[in-house]
Amino acid sequence: MFTRKKLLQGAAAGIAATAFAPRALGEEVAFDPRNWTSVRAQFALDPRVTNFSTFLLAPHPRPVRDAVARYARALDRDAKRYLDRQEDMNAAEQRVRTAAARYLDVARDELALTDSTTMGLALLYGGLQLSEDDEVLTTTHDFYSTHEALRLRSLRTGAHVRKIPLYANARTASVDEIVSSVRRSITPRTRALAVTWVHSSTGVKLPIRAIADALRATPVLLCVDGVHGFGIEATTPDQLGCDFLVSGCHKWLFGPRGTGLIWGRSDAWSAVTPTIPTFDGRALRPWLEGQPPPPRGIPGLPRAAAMTPGGFHSFEHRWALADAFEFRRKIGRARAATRTHALAQRLKDGLAEVKRVRLVTPHSAALSAGLVCFEVEGRDPFEFVDRLYARARIVASVTPYSRRYVRLGPTIANTPAEVDRVIRAVSSA
d(CA 192, CA 130): 9
Could you say which of 117, 139, 308, 340 contacts ligand PLP (CB under 6 A)?
117
Name the residue with the smallest CB distance to ligand PLP.
248
Task: Give the pairing of strands 221-225 and 190-196.
Answer: parallel
Could you say which of 118, 190, 308, 340 contacts ligand PLP (CB under 6 A)?
118
Q: Does 280 bind ligand PLP (CB under 6 A)?
A: no
Q: Which is nearer to ligand PLP, 340 or 415 (CB)?
A: 340
Q: How far is the CB of 145 from ligand PLP (least distance, A)?
A: 4
428: exposed, middle or buried (Cβ count in 10 Å: 0-12, 13-18, 19+): exposed
Q: What angle separates helix 62-85 from helix 315-331, to the nearest 10 degrees? A: 130
Backbone φ, ψ for residue 192 (5° rounding):
-145, 150
**DSSP helix/strand/coil, 194:** strand
**Binding segment toward ligand PLP, per CB under 6 A, in 90-98, 111-119, 284-292, 342-350:** 111-119
Residues 35-54 that bind ligand PLP (CB under 6 A): none
Q: Does 143 bind ligand PLP (CB under 6 A)?
A: yes
Identify residue 122 by its one-letter amino acid code. A
Give the number of residues in contact with ligand PLP, rule: CB under 6 A.
Answer: 12
The H-or-E segment that residue 160 falls in is: strand 160-164
Residues 200-259 that bind ligand PLP (CB under 6 A): 200, 225, 227-228, 248
Q: In what order do the strands lie in the sheet with 357-359?
A: 357-359, 372-376, 406-408, 397-398
**Binding segment toward ligand PLP, per CB under 6 A, in 63-71, 115-123, 178-186, 390-398:** 115-123
Q: Which is nearer to ligand PLP, 304 or 371 (CB)?
A: 371
Q: Does 340 bind ligand PLP (CB under 6 A)?
A: no
**DSSP helix/strand/coil, 375:** strand
Q: Does 309 bind ligand PLP (CB under 6 A)?
A: no
List the x/- string, 258-277, binding to ligand PLP by CB under 6 A: --x-----------------
Which of 256, 233, 258, 257 minimizes the C-alpha distance to 245? Answer: 233
Residues that bind ligand PLP (CB under 6 A): 116-118, 143, 145, 196, 200, 225, 227-228, 248, 260
